[in-house]
Structure 1
Amino acid sequence: MFDKFQKLIKLFKTVDLAQLEKLSQKVDLAAIINSVSKMDEAQLHMAMKMLTSTKKKKDPPPVDADFYDISAKLSPEDRALQLKVRAFLEAEIKPLVNKYWLHDDFPFEIIPKLADLNVCGYVYEGYGCAGGSSLVDGIIAAEFGRIDPSIATFLGVQSGLAMGSIYFCGSEEQKQEWLPQMQQLKKIGAFGLTEPEVGSATAGGLTTTCKKTADGWVLNGQKKWIGNSTFSDITIIWARDVDDNQVKGFIVRKENPGFSVEKIKGKMALRIVQNGLITLTDCVVPEADRLPHANTFRDTAKVLQMTRAGVAWMAVGCARGAYENALEYTLKREQFGKPIASFQLIQNHLVEMLSNLTAMQTLVYRLSELQDEGKLKDEHASLAKVFCTLRTRDIVSRAREVMGGNGILLEYNVARFLADAEAIYSYEGTKEINSLIVGRSITGFSAFV
């Protein structure tokens, strides 16, 4: 017992009287001495070690979700582009997205800045496009998704669906007219396939019709959930020919008589994306605006295959954004005097999130390799879309959970990722439709009705 007090007295001798006086005003020194007297040797040794320790507080590792260092496989030029896109999004997009998301509005001021970034139509050859790889295009989609899935969707519609339809199915004249302007975002495009009543059953039963006339084509019907359509210059409309029952594609200009758009309101996800309900009432489209290489639904599927792969990458970005925001939060948020990241249950959630995210990252990396090798099939893109969007839902849910009540506040970002993940899960083909595409491939049986 005497040895214990000797050690404590030795510690107090290093403190001058003024410090001791200040200390006595903050703590009960008698109570401390009483507690020390009850300690055994091991407890006292630990207490002395803590009190006399000069070790600096260890800084946590940087927040980075690329756990398997996939970016190291990129060329220096591609890695530089990735970091350029990331820096742009952090500086120009991240500060404003919560405000626009909350107000269900689109930040039109970013369009010239996006044009200067020069990544629209990245994979196409010519027409002002970079002619880059599908891998880097996917990485760009993930970087956009990491900051805001809504802006990622805007770019995906413009660059993938609208430009892709013209690039793969249009005439040379149509490509020359539209693609350079769309690449520079001087003209905005939309993609009208989904319908109010049939949704994903479009392959077998589009209700929007087209009929050849002396003046061109007459289109009738409705399209729903069409992103960018409230302000787009053109919309790619897919319609069933009443004469041969085949699907055909058209470039419909916003000024075409019989074409009208109503903004869809009340969304809980991707609120920055301006989705519209399009109504076509005896809408006349000249033959020059028909896509000459879009004559069956298989032609439409060429575009969807490419963009479905892009949605898988976007889901990876959404999941990464949620994970990194949650990890950063747990490193700063303290309970019981230490960061909650130091608790076992929190670490378990973080590791589960990172495990799913890393699996997603490696899957889409290989997916884009197949695409660049010309080996991509519908079932490859569908499997990636199913898996990545499903796992994203789990990741954003865990991200919200580790943040407690703050997880539902927009200012912490994860609430936005949580909501937006629901839209990504459903668009570009639901889980069920994409599962049947994969199921048909592995069994040889088509379960579509």
Structure 2
Amino acid sequence: MSEAADLYPGDLLGFANALTPVEVDKIRRLRAFLDAEIRPVLAERWEQAANLGDFRAGLAQLRLLDDPALVTETGAVRELYRGFVTLELSRLDLSVSILYGGQANMFRTLIHAGGSPEQIEEWDRGILDFTFTGCFALSEPDHGSDIAGGMETVARRAGDGWILDGAKRWIGNATISDNIVVIAREQDGDRILAFVVPTESEGVERRVIEHKVAARMVHNAEVTLRGVAVSETRRLPRIESFRDVNRAMRELRADVAWSAAGMQLGAYDAALAYATQRTQFGRPIAGFQLVQEKLVRIVANIAQTLSLACRTAEAPADDAAASLVKIVVADRLRESVALARETLGGNGILLEYDVARFFVDAEAIYTFEGTREMNTLIVGRAITGLSSFVG
């Protein structure tokens, strides 16, 4: 029997069996930490919309991505294992995954994709141990899907440095990060530039977006930049166009599949546990055909999502492939969490049974990293050779 055979009951096709014993052990250690430290406070933190920043040190100490026992000859962990880390975090809660992944995946990917060798060497250790924290600021109050053609944040040259002016919106982890990677349009040129801006810089303001119903424990923020001075040494030199930004984002879009798989596995575990314990008409509802049909559909959706997630770990995805994966896994996730909520009946809207969190957080997955409509246009352009984007 595989070391991972009992990790994910909803993984009927055994995708987790591809993990090595060392990787499985690390996933088990991660789960033990999550169950002992974070799971007990989830409902309270969710209701309070309180962030989980106080758990960053504990997650960093697990050395999920830089344990020498896991690092291969390439100098990094296997992509399949990295995906399962995201899956495991998302299996508990999407906000937990964003807390860790926004730093160790998104922020780190941007630094590696755009930074100089000297910048990477200086910052990478701190990124992994969470002593050099950061987030990514691309979208703006009036520009989301159309950001490539409508960016209003500008950078103008000032002596040996730059001055940034503008606003960014929906920036996850912004209020608990020491740095923000700000994407800006060069005022007197054609370039799109990236700057690692210290959040304590004069002219930087961060305001938490309140009254969210999804990813409540992530403090998305509106960031305002008024005459913010940034050194040239803080500019990422390998990002000079949206093509360069997209090069980094392509890898991050593939991570959505792992989050969607993890959330479905978490919802399935909760629904199955409830169905085997809840009795009606003298027996567990898990024995009813209508309930079994829902559980089987969730398992089928998990299999489809995991197959796409594992494929993204095997080969880099181009824009069309990444967009296609996002469309499919978001649809499967939406259906699975709805089925899980239906399985619990009225109890499905109570936080104590877990499913409610996955149900509302699926809406965040459905929207971010490109709406379904925008990803559909990207795939449509690829298969027809004709662009239906207008502007």
Q: Shorter-chain TM-score category?
A: over 0.9
The one-letter code matched in structure 2 to 1:148 is D
Identity of aligned residues (%): 40
Question: Is 1:428 aligned to residue 373 of structure 2?
Answer: no
**Equivalent position of 2:95 in the other structure:** 150
Q: Secondary structure at the match of 1:199?
A: coil
Give matches, 1:103-118, under 5 Å. Answer: 103-118=48-63
**Equivalent position of 2:192 in the other structure:** 247
Distance 1:256 1:120, change over 3 A: farther
Aligned partners of 1:251 and 1:291 also within 8 Å: yes
Structure 2 residues without counterparts, runs of 5 or longer: 1-5
Offset, 1:121: 7.1
Deviations 1:267-315 (A, max 9, x none): 0010110111000111111111111111001111111111111122111
Offset, 1:341: 0.6
**Equivalent position of 2:3 in the other structure:** none
Q: Secondary structure at the match of 1:168?
A: helix
The whole-number CA distance in structure 2 between the counterparts of 1:232 and 1:63 is 33
**Equivalent position of 1:47 in the other structure:** none
Offset, 1:205: 1.9
Aligned partners of 1:319 and 1:357 also within 8 Å: yes
The whole-number CA distance in structure 2 between the counterparts of 1:429 and 1:63 is 29
Question: Is 1:286 aligned to residue 231 of structure 2?
Answer: yes
Aligned partners of 1:323 and 1:350 also within 8 Å: yes
* Consecutive aligned runs of 4 or more in structure 1 exceeding 6 Å deviation: none
Q: TM-score of the superposition, structure 2-length normalised? A: 0.93
The one-letter code matched in structure 1 to 2:109 is G
Aligned partners of 2:53 and 2:176 also within 8 Å: no
Question: Is 1:200 aligned to residue 200 of structure 2?
Answer: no
Question: Is 1:332 aligned to residue 281 of structure 2?
Answer: no
Distance 1:442 1:144, change over 3 A: same
Q: Which of residues 123, 133, 155 in structure 2 aligns to 1:210?
A: 155
Give matches, 1:97-108, under 5 Å. Answer: 97-108=42-53
Aligned partners of 1:220 and 1:282 also within 8 Å: yes
The whole-number CA distance in structure 2 between the counterparts of 1:190 and 1:370 is 26
Give matches, 1:352-431, under 5 Å. Answer: 352-371=297-316, 376-431=317-372
The whole-number CA distance in structure 2 between the counterparts of 1:386 and 1:336 is 40
The whole-number CA distance in structure 2 between the counterparts of 1:184 and 1:138 is 19
The whole-number CA distance in structure 2 between the counterparts of 1:342 and 1:220 is 61
The one-letter code matched in structure 2 to 1:426 is T
**Equivalent position of 2:133 in the other structure:** 188
Alpha-carbon RMSD across the aligned residues, in angstroms, is 2.0
**Equivalent position of 2:124 in the other structure:** 179
Aligned residues between the structures: 382
Q: Which of residues 70, 89, 97 in structure 1 aligns to 2:15?
A: 70
The whole-number CA distance in structure 2 between the counterparts of 1:62 and 1:203 is 41
The one-letter code matched in structure 1 to 2:136 is F
The one-letter code matched in structure 2 to 1:168 is A
Distance 1:181 1:328, change over 3 A: same
Offset, 1:62: 10
Distance 1:78 1:130, change over 3 A: farther
Aligned partners of 2:65 and 2:76 also within 8 Å: no
**Equivalent position of 1:53 in the other structure:** none
Offset, 1:122: 8.6
Offset, 1:63: 7.5
Q: Which of residues 133, 150, 162 in structure 1 aligns to 2:78?
A: 133
Q: Which of residues 201, 209, 218 in structure 2 aligns to 1:256?
A: 201
**Equivalent position of 1:41 in the other structure:** none
The whole-number CA distance in structure 1 between the counterparts of 2:331 and 2:99 is 22
The whole-number CA distance in structure 1 between the counterparts of 2:198 and 2:386 is 41
Aligned partners of 1:120 and 1:155 also within 8 Å: no
The whole-number CA distance in structure 1 between the counterparts of 2:291 and 2:34 is 29
Q: Which of residues 363, 375, 381 in structure 2 aligns to 1:440?
A: 381
Aligned partners of 1:120 and 1:184 also within 8 Å: no
**Equivalent position of 1:4 in the other structure:** none
Offset, 1:120: 4.8
The whole-number CA distance in structure 1 between the counterparts of 2:183 and 2:7 is 47
Distance 1:194 1:370, change over 3 A: same
Offset, 1:215: 4.5
Q: Secondary structure at the match of 2:315?
A: helix
* Larger mean Cα displacement after TM superposition, 413-422 or 105-114: 105-114
Aligned partners of 1:349 and 1:398 also within 8 Å: yes
Aligned partners of 1:121 and 1:160 also within 8 Å: no
* Larger mean Cα displacement after TM superposition, 272-281 or 110-119: 110-119
Aligned partners of 2:66 and 2:77 also within 8 Å: no
The whole-number CA distance in structure 2 between the counterparts of 1:182 and 1:367 is 24
The whole-number CA distance in structure 2 between the counterparts of 1:98 and 1:117 is 24
**Equivalent position of 1:20 in the other structure:** none
The whole-number CA distance in structure 2 between the counterparts of 1:62 and 1:182 is 29
Offset, 1:130: 6.2
The one-letter code matched in structure 2 to 1:403 is L
Q: Secondary structure at the match of 1:92?
A: helix
Offset, 1:117: 1.1
Q: Secondary structure at the match of 1:222?
A: strand
The whole-number CA distance in structure 2 between the counterparts of 1:264 and 1:207 is 20
* Larger mean Cα displacement after TM superposition, 273-282 or 87-96: 87-96
Offset, 1:366: 1.3
The whole-number CA distance in structure 1 between the counterparts of 2:389 and 2:376 is 11
The one-letter code matched in structure 1 to 2:12 is F
